[in-house]
Amino acid sequence: MQDYHIYTLLIISFGAFIVPIFAPFFKLPGAVAEMLYGMIIGKSLLNIIDLSLNAKWLSFMADLGFIILMFLAGLEINFGDLKKKGIKNLRLPVFSFLISVTLSIIIIDSLNMEIGLIFIVMATGIGLLIPVLKDLNLEKKEFGSMLFILGLVAELLTLLLFTFFEVYKLHGFSIRILQMPIMILISIVFLKLLYLISWWFPDKVINLIHPKDSKEIGIRMSFILMFSLITIALIFHIEFIIGALIAGIVISATFKDKGALEEKMNGIGYGFFIPIFFINIGINFDLSSILEKETFFIFLKLMFIAFIIKLISSLPLLFKGIKFRNIVATAFMLAAPLTLLVAIAMIELKLGLISSKTNNAIIFLAIVTGVVYPIFFKILYREQDGFS
């Protein structure tokens, strides 16, 4: 490793350490603050990171952070919560998602915008939702639970739909489109094998996720499963992060009590690698491009369209007795997917589904909505009888 690599790693490590300390003072989500730090040290402002010398290894570290981020996105899906709600209670979230998909396709197509923007305006994530609900003590109340399930179902279905869309864009309606079902079938085989192992050797499986496992076998298992499915995804010419996402889902579906394992993986990911991913986005982000009329106009259109779609798709909550004011608040919160927005944009840029200008507009959208929309939610939300 060259000297300039160490200097760069020091600057990025300093940011990964200092950002979460100061971000709460400015009411900034961690991912937003990390991207802003990257913008400060990158080409937008100070330009102290020489990408001509650091591009390859920094890109590798950022990709690893991206892989772990998507793995944790799958791991955080709580299938127990979905089972508790029952199929009947999932009808409204699924119906809301279908409204969102339909509106996204109609609006983006009618405006002749890039096809990849369909997933940008319909994207819903729970990364910001969870801390906001906790901040308002809503996570265990009926309204907070309803909002969480709404976001969780939409995020899961968005990721699945986007995965199939990616395969279609790469191979069209050919025999290769069967690669995705085969990938899912292989994942189910992994899942069944883990179930059988956990049935035959319950004590050993418990040790895999035991919080005091000094050998950290659970973490090693997570990485080997993750990289196995990533390898299979690459063999089938599917984006590698889809393999990471499916690996997280497989482990989440296998282990009911995955708390200790999830906590350790969060420590590895959010402690170092994931911040590098977001800081690297900021480093490569060109702030001056937002000042260009075309890019800024794309940003404004996307922000408006995404909010309107979330508002209309949230209207079925009226049948649950939710007041319109709280539905507007819900729309703001669901229109701030942040990490999912960045992840989808990164993949679509690689696939050529969006231009670099559009990508910059999306990154700026993620930053603005990640900062502003949670504030709007807190201002608008009011407790109501039966849904406090």
- Say what the pLDDT of residue 234 is: 78
Residue 313 identity (one-letter amino acid) = S
pLDDT for 186 beyond 90: no
Spatial distance between the Cα atoms of 250 and 242, rounded to a whole number of angstroms: 12
Which residue from 327, 348, 340, 347 is spatially nearest to 369, judged by alpha carbons?
A: 340
Q: Mind giving me the DSSP string for 13-52?
A: HHHHHHHHHHGGGGT--HHHHHHHHHHHHSTTTT--S-HH
Spatial distance between the Cα atoms of 159 and 164, rounded to a whole number of angstroms: 9
Q: Mind giving me the DSSP string for 327-338?
A: HHHHHHHHT--T
Sequence-separated (6 or more) residues with CB below 8 Å from residue 307: 331, 332, 335
CB neighbour burial string for 114-147, b if at least 16 within 10 angstroms, e if fewer = eebbbbbbbbbbbbbbbebbeebebbeeebbbbb
On whether the CB atoms of residues 86 and 307 are closer than 8 A, the answer is: no
Spatial distance between the Cα atoms of 29 and 227, rounded to a whole number of angstroms: 29
Spatial distance between the Cα atoms of 267 and 332, rounded to a whole number of angstroms: 29
On whether the CB atoms of residues 115 and 353 are closer than 8 A, the answer is: yes
Spatial distance between the Cα atoms of 126 and 132, rounded to a whole number of angstroms: 10
Between 295 and 243, whose confidence is greater?
295
Report the percentage of the chain scoring pLDDT > 70.
Answer: 80
- Say what the pLDDT of residue 307 is: 96
Report the percentage of the chain scoring pLDDT > 90.
Answer: 28
Range 77-92 average pLDDT: 69
Q: What three-state secondary structure class fits 235?
A: helix
Confidence label for 377 from pLDDT (cuts 50, 70 and 90): very high
Mean pLDDT of the residues in the chain: 82
Residue 281 identity (one-letter amino acid) = I
pLDDT for 95 beyond 90: yes
Most confident of 84-88, 178-182, 221-225: 221-225
Most confident of 105-114, 146-155, 162-171: 105-114
pLDDT for 351 beyond 80: yes
The domain limits of the chain are 3-380
On whether the CB atoms of residues 252 and 258 are closer than 8 A, the answer is: yes
Sequence-separated (6 or more) residues with CB below 8 Å from residue 93: 149, 150, 152, 153, 154
Domain 3-380 has CATH 1.20.1530.20: yes
Between 22 and 265, whose confidence is greater?
22
pLDDT for 207 beyond 80: no
